[in-house]
Structure 1
Amino acid sequence: MLGLATTFSLTLLAVAPAATAADAQASATATGGLPFQVKPVVTFKSPWAMAFLPDGNVLVTQKEGTMILFDPATGTRRTVSGTPAVSSKGQGALMDIMPAADFASSKLIYFSYSEAAPSADSRVVLATATLDQAGGTLKDPKVIFRGQDASTGGHYSGRIALSPDGKYLFFTSGDRQLFDPAQDPRSTLGKMLRLNLDGTPAAGNPFAARGFHGSVWSYGHRNLLGTAFDRQGRLWEMEMGPRVGDEINLIAPGLNYGWPKASNGNHYDGRDIPDHAPGDGFEAPKVSWNPAISPGGLAYYDADLFPKWKNSLFITGLSGKSLDRIALDGENASKVDHWDMGERIRAVRTGPDGALWLLEDGASGRLLKLTPKR
């Protein structure tokens, strides 16, 4: 989608299809009321997630299992070799990606993907590798955590967050569309996990002495598709609900978030699920959606380019074709902005200069840069 003042730069014409006059008019009409300029930068094939590296380059994962290294300054891109085999059936994908805190020296990255199991099943995987940027290669890939096998093709989750102190990985493991494992203490499905940097369960996890898997930090989750820490070190999580009921949660250790016993949505076949209610023993979401937006990605914003939006969460909508801003106030959150972006939006990240960057979903998903209107 083009903002009114947006143009393609010549350096990007080789990697992004040129817009026709009709495209420009349609995009300008669609985004004319937005409080930011939208600049299409480059097109990817079914992108899933992105991460900025310290030098400003961007790593983008694509559903079928390829990883792209893209330089926004020059428009150059290359396919990174050495990625593992990915089972991309259903909701499977090469998923999240995150540079290590010491990436500038170690070149280590964390990434997640769906992997075929020895049977007809599949599982979510968390792995590490060293990125050789000059050679465009992943070296020494190593699986550090494998989720449980499941025969379904969805709800892998697979989002990665690094704790503010740099000591722990928080990793999301969806319920794999199996419902009950989210409440099963022995299962890692439907859980927020806290791991050491080598993928082993972190000491001090709240349920370790109560018969739970040692990595579990919180449970009762469905499909956790976004995680982010705020400036005070609080962990926020976004998950896709069933039939409506998409939600934002403030994650705290030892809490049960209710799924599938409580939800602000209903089953897809119309059966009722009890809503969250005071005293039900479950932690209620801070924000939920009805109608659904089918959230795809989440980012915490605290940069200076959009000063009025500091200390906000940004949520992308797939079915909603939207970008939402959620204002944070301590442990409270509230919806404040909802923008129609005209396309399914898969991911959002804050760039080094404070711009917001979005990835559209689909076979020709564009990377969009959002900056203030002049």
Structure 2
Amino acid sequence: MLSARSFVRLSSLLLIWLPLAATSQTFTSENVHFKLDTVAKGLEHPWSLAFLPNGSVLVTERAGRLRIIQNGKLLPKAVRGLPSLAVSGQGGLLDVLLHPDFQENRTLFLSYAHGSSKGMTTRVARAVLEEGQLKQVAVIFEALPRANTARHFGGRMAFDRSGYLYISVGDRGEMDRAQDTLDDAGGVHRLTVNGKPAPGNSGVNDTSIIDTLFTWGNRNIQGMTVHPDSGDIWTHEHGPRGGDEINILKADTNYGWPEITYGIGYSGLPITLDTAKEGMAQPLHYWDPSIAPSGMAFYTGSEFPEWQGNLFVGALKLRKLVRLEIENGQVTNEENLLINLKERIRDVRTGPDGELWLLTDSPEGKVYRIVPAQ
């Protein structure tokens, strides 16, 4: 029989052990058993991550810091030399994206909110990362006109296979701007790495369209990724109450917001009675009610062969990870993962290790890896 002292000591050990056991909890998908590894924690609203060739990982914090995870540990000091930015509402430091030739030129791109006496906007800067510091920082894009709101900045970025940079800009909470092709808000812009309009943009020869504008009618894109086979740019965007969409970007395409939507206003009243109109694209997939999607990646690793080609989407409002099976350009199966985690998933990436990486959006945000359960 245990003595009172031994019982207390054993109980204390169990209390210490139980939380540690929870960190290796096994999760079950329809066809995969996996667990979560916590890579880093204590990040203030982390928004995006990028994998460096040397194995380190960059993580943006919306609060205005760029952090480095090195040898599996979050370095205490943030990267120095960030451009001037504004942290307000949904705005702050947003996406980080490496130049396709980063290993040779050490160049990266940051999207962020910027404020002035004329209001706030979305900016993108190019910089060179050297020894924990950004150098040669240059603003290459600024969405105009500015607005006196602190929401719907967009900010997701991707490179296509031709080396052109795609930047999403939200409607800034002023919905009608998304239908104005002489307004930078509510669309996707395609640029060269120097910030010039990409060759082939319609606006280069058409004065009725801004020369960087690639698509419009987009409410607030917070997920953007490249299809591993076709090379197409896939996006998802927030609807209002319902109507979150997945779209495949096509040049000079109007995606309809706010003329068509599968959602309703936050007041509960309709924004429009139309879900389709001639000349406006239909989404590949939509959610109603809204899941508030953020972050998106096709799985291309080898750790989970059953997930090859699946599309993963984080959800903020419904606090889950969504797995979508895609066949012939159609969603054929949808599965909700990590519901019991009860975390707002901000970003999703396939890592060079073949595992899925996630960011959680909170004042004490975490970086997770999804790894096979042994």
Q: TM-score, normalised by structure 2?
A: 0.89
**What is the letter of the counterpart of residue 80 of structure 1?**
V
Aligned twin of 1:109? 108
**What is the letter of the counterpart of residue 111 of structure 1?**
L
SS class of match (2:155): strand
Once the two structures are superposed, residues 94-113 of structure 1 have per-residue CA deviations (whole angstroms, 9 ceiling, x without a partner) of: 00001111111100001111
SS class of match (1:78): coil
Aligned twin of 1:219? 216
**What is the letter of the counterpart of residue 157 of structure 2?**
I
**What is the letter of the counterpart of residue 256 of structure 2?**
G
Aligned twin of 1:15? none
1:127 matched to 2:128: no
Q: C-alpha separation between the residues in 2 aligned to 1:273 and 1:332?
A: 27
1:299 matched to 2:297: yes
- CA shift, 1:23, in A, is 3.8
Aligned twin of 2:6? none
Shift in alpha-carbon separation, 1:276–1:306, aligned structure 2, 3 A: farther
Given candidates 180, 185, 195, the residue that maps to 1:184 is: 180
Aligned twin of 1:16? none
Q: C-alpha separation between the residues in 2 aligned to 1:177 and 1:246?
A: 15
The 5 A counterparts of 1:134-283 are 135-148=131-144, 149-166=146-163, 168-208=164-204, 209=206, 211-231=208-228, 232-274=230-272, 277=275, 279-283=277-281
Q: C-alpha separation between the residues in 2 aligned to 1:41 and 1:200?
A: 38
Q: C-alpha separation between the residues in 1 aligned to 2:140 and 2:333?
A: 37
Q: C-alpha separation between the residues in 2 aligned to 1:218 and 1:294?
A: 21
- CA shift, 1:275, in A, is 6.2
Shift in alpha-carbon separation, 1:335–1:111, aligned structure 2, 3 A: farther
Aligned twin of 2:5? none
Counterpart contact for 1:287–1:335, Cα < 8 Å: no
Shift in alpha-carbon separation, 1:275–1:295, aligned structure 2, 3 A: farther
1:36 matched to 2:26: no
1:353 matched to 2:349: no
Aligned twin of 1:365? 365
SS class of match (1:157): coil
Aligned twin of 2:7? none
- CA shift, 1:205, in A, is 1.2
Q: C-alpha separation between the residues in 1 aligned to 2:201 and 2:328?
A: 24
**What is the letter of the counterpart of residue 215 of structure 1?**
T
1:97 matched to 2:72: no
Given candidates 329, 334, 337, the residue that maps to 1:336 is: 334
SS class of match (1:158): coil
SS class of match (1:105): helix
**What is the letter of the counterpart of residue 222 of structure 2?**
L
Once the two structures are superposed, residues 6-43 of structure 1 have per-residue CA deviations (whole angstroms, 9 ceiling, x without a partner) of: xxxxxxxxxxxxx95554566677x6445311111211
Aligned twin of 2:47? 48
**What is the letter of the counterpart of residue 165 of structure 1?**
S
Most deviating of 202-211 and 103-112: 202-211
Counterpart contact for 1:264–1:273, Cα < 8 Å: no
SS class of match (2:36): strand
Once the two structures are superposed, residues 167-199 of structure 1 have per-residue CA deviations (whole angstroms, 9 ceiling, x without a partner) of: x10110110000011000110100111111111
Shift in alpha-carbon separation, 1:221–1:74, aligned structure 2, 3 A: closer
Q: C-alpha separation between the residues in 2 aligned to 1:72 and 1:191?
A: 38
**What is the letter of the counterpart of residue 228 of structure 1?**
T
Q: C-alpha separation between the residues in 2 aligned to 1:72 and 1:345?
A: 24
Q: C-alpha separation between the residues in 2 aligned to 1:334 and 1:237?
A: 18
Aligned twin of 2:80? 81
Shift in alpha-carbon separation, 1:301–1:27, aligned structure 2, 3 A: same
Counterpart contact for 1:58–1:72, Cα < 8 Å: no
Q: C-alpha separation between the residues in 2 aligned to 1:152 and 1:178?
A: 9
**What is the letter of the counterpart of residue 70 of structure 1?**
I
Counterpart contact for 1:64–1:94, Cα < 8 Å: yes
Q: C-alpha separation between the residues in 1 aligned to 2:23 and 2:291?
A: 21
Q: TM-score, normalised by structure 1?
A: 0.89
Q: Which runs of 5+ in 2 are unaligned?
A: 1-14
Q: C-alpha separation between the residues in 1 aligned to 2:324 and 2:56?
A: 27
- CA shift, 1:88, in A, is 0.9
Aligned twin of 2:12? none
**What is the letter of the counterpart of residue 62 of structure 2?**
K
SS class of match (2:121): strand
**What is the letter of the counterpart of residue 286 of structure 2?**
S
Q: C-alpha separation between the residues in 1 aligned to 2:90 and 2:112?
A: 11
Q: C-alpha separation between the residues in 2 aligned to 1:104 and 1:292?
A: 39
Counterpart contact for 2:27–2:34, Cα < 8 Å: no
**What is the letter of the counterpart of residue 325 of structure 1?**
R
**What is the letter of the counterpart of residue 214 of structure 1?**
D
**What is the letter of the counterpart of residue 129 of structure 1?**
A
Given candidates 302, 306, 309, the residue that maps to 2:307 is: 309
